[in-house]
Amino acid sequence: MRTICIWVTLVIACTVAVSTSYSEPSHNPDSVNGHKLALLICSACHIAAPDQNKLPILRTPAVSFQSLAEKKSTSYEGIRNFILTTHQDIGHPKDMPNPMLTDDEASDISAYIVSLRRMR
């Protein structure tokens, strides 16, 4: 009987863990907050917004957010994944440094970049 209880408990725990890991995110991406974050964090290396007051510190700035938004291949999911996973290391010294953003911040910045896409 004890073994059955342990197995039932394990099955329930695994079911809960799997269902919560595949659930929808609780955060609704906010492009307005993404704009604020882009000016605060991303503008050091990118032309992040049309109302950006200072130029990036890089001699050759990283891709502008407007040009990134205009690419047909650009998607919210692709940008978000890039922000959260693609970072500079010894093997890739020219990649983007880790901006150390939370999931919500990365979502907001991704929504902001996609919002820059001009209507066609």
pLDDT given at position 25: 55
The band of 2, judged by pLDDT with boundaries at 50, 70 and 90, is: low
Domain boundaries in the chain? 29-115
C-alpha distances (whole Å) from 4 to each of 7, 8, 13, 30 are: 5, 6, 14, 47
Assign domain 29-115 to its CATH architecture. Orthogonal Bundle (1.10)
Task: For residue 87, give both structure tokens.
Answer: 């970072």
Task: For residue 17, give both structure tokens.
Answer: 């863990």
Give the global pTM.
0.75
pLDDT given at position 71: 95
Nearest to 82 by CA among 99, 57, 59: 99
What are the pLDDT digits (tens) for 101-115?
999 999 999 999 999
113 within 8 A of 34, measured Cβ to Cβ: yes
What are the pLDDT digits (tens) for 57-103?
989 999 999 999 999 999 999 999 999 988 888 888 888 889 999 99
